[in-house]
Structure 1
Amino acid sequence: MNKIRVSLLTIFSITTCIGQTYKVLEKINIPGNQGWDYAVVDEVNQHLFVSHGSEVNVIDLHSNKLLTSIPDTKGVHGIAIANDLNKAFISNGKDNSVSIINLTTYELIEKVVLPAENPDAILYDAFSKKVFTYNGKSNDATVLDAITNKVVKSIPLGGKPEFSVTNTKGLVYVNIEDKNQIKTINTSTLEVTNTWSIAPGEEPSGLAIDLETNRLFSVCGNNIMVVVNALNGKVIKTIPIGEGCDGVAFNPKTKLAFCSNGDGTITVVKESKKGRFSVLETVKTQKGARTIALDKTTNRLYLATASFGDKPAPTTENPHPRSSIIPNTFVVLVVDAK
Structure 2
Amino acid sequence: MKKILLSFIIIASVSNSYSQTYKLSKKISTSGNDGWDYLAVDDVAQHLFVSHGTMVNVIDLKSDKTIATIPDTKGVHGIAVANDLNKAFISNGKDNSITIVNLKTFELLEKVKIAGVKPDAILYDQFSRKVFVYNAESNDATVIDANTNKVVKTIPLGGKPEFSVTNTKGLIYVNIEDKNEIKTIDASTLKVVNTWSIAPGDEPSGLAIDLVTNRLFSVCSNNLMIIVNAANGRILKTLPIGAGCDGVAFDPKKNLIFSSNGEGTITVVKESNANTFSVLETVKTQKGARTIALNKTTNQLYLSTADFGTKPEPTVENPKPRAGIVPNSFVVLVVEPISK
TM-score higher than 0.5: yes
User: Structure 1: 5+ residue runs without aligned partners?
Assistant: 1-12
Identity between Structure 1 and Structure 2 (%): 73
Structure-1 residue corresponding to 2:4: none
| Alignment size in residue pairs | 324
User: Structure 2: 5+ residue runs without aligned partners?
Assistant: 1-13
CA shift digits 1:192-211 (9 cap, x unpaired): 00000000000000000000
Distance 1:309 1:72 in 2: 27
CA shift digits 1:182-240 (9 cap, x unpaired): 00000000000000000000000000000000000000000000000000000000000
Aligned partner letter, 1:297: T
**C-alpha displacement of 1:274:** 5.9
Structure-2 residue corresponding to 1:9: none
Matches within 5 A, 1:105-184: 105-184=105-184
**C-alpha displacement of 1:21:** 1.4
Matches within 5 A, 1:1-338: 18=19, 21-273=21-273, 275-338=275-338
CA shift digits 1:252-296 (9 cap, x unpaired): 110000000000000000000363100000000000000000001
User: Per the alignment, in what secondary structure is the counterpart of residue 48 of structure 1?
Assistant: strand
Aligned partner letter, 1:213: T
Instruction: Extract structure 1 runs of 4+ deviating beyond 6 A.
Output: none
User: Per the alignment, in what secondary structure is the counterpart of residue 84 of structure 2?
Assistant: helix
Asked if the contact 2:236–2:275 (Cα under 8 Å) also holds between the matched residues in 1, the reply is no
Distance 1:273 1:91 in 2: 35
**C-alpha displacement of 1:84:** 0.1
Distance 2:273 2:286 in 1: 32
| TM-score, length of structure 1 as denominator length | 0.94
Asked if the contact 2:215–2:274 (Cα under 8 Å) also holds between the matched residues in 1, the reply is no
**C-alpha displacement of 1:17:** 5.9
Distance 1:243 1:294 in 2: 20
Distance 1:321 1:132 in 2: 32
Asked if the contact 2:300–2:334 (Cα under 8 Å) also holds between the matched residues in 1, the reply is yes
Distance 2:274 2:85 in 1: 38
Aligned partner letter, 2:101: I
| TM-score, length of structure 2 as denominator length | 0.94
**C-alpha displacement of 1:307:** 0.2
Distance 2:274 2:332 in 1: 35
Aligned partner letter, 2:236: I
Asked if the contact 2:163–2:207 (Cα under 8 Å) also holds between the matched residues in 1, the reply is yes
The CA RMSD measured in Å over matched residues stands at: 1.2
Distance 1:148 1:160 in 2: 27
Distance 1:115 1:55 in 2: 22
CA shift digits 1:96-132 (9 cap, x unpaired): 0000000111000000000110000000000000000
